[in-house]
Amino acid sequence: MKLFPFQNTYVNLPEHFYERVEPAKVPAPSLIRFNEDLAGLLGLDRSTASDEEIAAQLGGNVIPEGSEPLAQAYGGHQFGGWVPRLGDGRAILLGEVVGTDGVRRDIQLKGSGRTPFSRGGDGKSPLGPVLREYLVSEAMFALGVPTTRSLAAVATGEPVYREEKLPGAVLTRVASSHLRIGTFQYFLAQEDHEAIRILADFAIERHYPGCGSEGNPYTAFLGQVIERQAALVAQWMSLGFIHGVMNTDNMTISGETIDFGPCAFMDEFHPEKVFSSIDRNGRYAWGNQPAIAHWNLTRLAEALLPLFDEDREKAIGMAEERLGEFEEQFKEAFYGRFRAKLGWRDKKEKSGEFVDSTLEFLSGGKVDFTRFFRELTRVAAGEPEGGLIALSKDGVASAKWLQSWRDSGEPDVDLMQSSNPILIPRNHRIEQAIVAANGGDASLFHRLADAYRTPFEIGSDLADLEQAPDPEEVVCATFCGT
Ligand code: AMP
Ligand code: MG
């Protein structure tokens, strides 16, 4: 019954990097969904385990053979406020698996009970956030965005108490690692420079092996993380995605999207859109995400300073040089993504300004972001323009915008089709799937999980999933729900 060919390296790091802890036992684990594609990529031999055995292992009742379960230590800035000790309070790393693609990935249970980092929490997760993370992380992957993934959702048969009594569940999260900016900050706060070096070497070996041979591996490492995060945030924004809780403990060193708590894909576009119920000042609004990423990366640079140079002034100069590259990298990536959405393969004169004015037009007309680019793709392919014009509250502005787009040259339809998804995991659909599943019916969850695997393809029976929400369906706020 050996499902996972575990090879664990994190456990060989110094003892104060983690706490050994076992998942909590649950009364009645049952498999809601198992991601066969991902299992294939991980090289798991599915024939070695029945659904019951998988549920026992991924629900917490049986520790998989070869696992050395642990909770990782980290700190972080939450909404700008420093918290020296966060850590995996409701997550347990089972171990690492090297996939058929040669990539080493963490296998982690989320919602599997208390750990030494749980503080006042119960370490559990209601079913809703598990299904939400499953749907959104797998949709992100299918959209081509670097992200942690979901291997399984297991119902525990145990109630979880929040404002109300809810069914409990455990998610199996797969990530190229769970190293966060907050992991580095944790050791900086303790002035443990030796630990920072060990952690940086570990991160370089795992994610950026090329940095090892650079003149200064650590500044090269910072530069790589900055580059990946600049590209990531630009890609999120090109899909109308708002992460919602970009705390430094929720920003990975690998450049993967992590922690799908109160995130959301926008329906109507507005640059100041916020969904998270706890983001009262709009810190993590759609348009603030690059500035926040830069702020977070500055915290990473601070933690790495002792490794850059013994001379602090010199080290700061080196950090500033790297951090200074973020803005240009972000802009390149952002405008490049939007040019592709508009059908332009190459930079045109003033194409950046055109993108800016397009976004202004979209927010002014309260236009549905995803539908707009989908309808534009249709128009580019020679279909009638009525659908596009009707999306805006201001038909005159719409017609004017369309004319200016037409005047700017021949669009590349293939590029538009591969840049403008037809399906995104819309809030209202996720909400409906969760409500139904809480009532015992997981069919909508499965339908969505199947549909979101091919977001750029036209599905014959998926027209309802393409649509923006009706006014009574609109979801205005999202919750961590943990
Ligand atoms: P997050 O909002 O997911 O980024 O979590 C922030 C911190 O709160 C992390 O240290 C989590 O482990 C911890 N946390 C969140 N929910 C729970 C819970 N139900 N029990 C224990 N710790 C939790
Ligand atoms: Mg987190």
Give me the pLDDT at residue 241, please.
98
Give the pLDDT band of residue 63 (cuts 50, 70, 90): very high
C-alpha to C-alpha distance for 480 and 284, rounded to whole angstroms: 14
Q: Is 313 helix (H, G, I), strand (E, B) or coil?
A: helix
Q: Is 265 helix (H, G, I), strand (E, B) or coil?
A: strand
Give the pLDDT band of residue 375 (cuts 50, 70, 90): very high
Is the model more confident about 47 or about 132? Answer: 132
Percentage, residues of the chain above pLDDT 70: 99
Q: Is 438 helix (H, G, I), strand (E, B) or coil?
A: helix
pLDDT at 265 over 80: yes
CA of 120 to the centre of ligand 2 (A): 16
Give the pLDDT band of residue 2 (cuts 50, 70, 90): confident
Give the pLDDT band of residue 161 (cuts 50, 70, 90): very high
pLDDT at 391 over 90: yes
pLDDT (tens digit, 9 = 90+) per residue, 421-464? 999 999 999 999 999 999 999 999 999 999 999 999 988 899 99
Q: Spell 265-278 as b/e; 16+ CB within 10 A means b.
A: bbbbbbeebbbbeb
For this structure, is 394 an active site residue? no
- Cα-Cα-Cα-Cα dihedral sign, residues 435, 438, 444, 447: positive
Give me the pLDDT at residue 73, please.
98
- Contact 122 CB / ligand 1 (< 6 Å): yes
Question: Which residue from 323, 326, 177, 181 is spatially nearest to 248, judged by alpha carbons?
Answer: 181
Instruction: Give the DSSP H/E element, type plus range, for residue 131.
Output: helix 127-142
First to last CA, the chain: 32
CA of 376 to the centre of ligand 2 (A): 37
pLDDT at 480 over 80: no
Instruction: Give the DSSP H/E element, type plus range, for residue 258.
Output: none
- Contact 90 CB / ligand 1 (< 6 Å): yes
Give the pLDDT band of residue 417 (cuts 50, 70, 90): very high
Active-site position among 249, 259, 267, 279: 249
Position in ligand 1 atom list of the atom nearest CA 249: 4
Mean pLDDT of 132-158: 98
Give me the pLDDT at residue 229, please.
98
Give me the pLDDT at residue 482, please.
64
What is the residue-averaged pLDDT of the chain?
96
pLDDT at 236 over 90: yes
Give the pLDDT band of residue 370 (cuts 50, 70, 90): very high
pLDDT at 1 over 70: no
In sequence order, which residues have a C-beta less than 8 Å from that of residue 372 and are 6 or more positions away?
269, 362, 388, 391
pLDDT at 481 over 70: no
Mean pLDDT of 474-479: 84
Give me the pLDDT at residue 47, please.
86
- Give the closest residue (by CA) to ligand 1 atom 10: 86
Position in ligand 1 atom list of the atom nearest CA 120: 21
pLDDT at 284 over 80: yes
- Contact 89 CB / ligand 1 (< 6 Å): yes
- Residue 151, φ and ψ in degrees, nearest 5: -90, -35
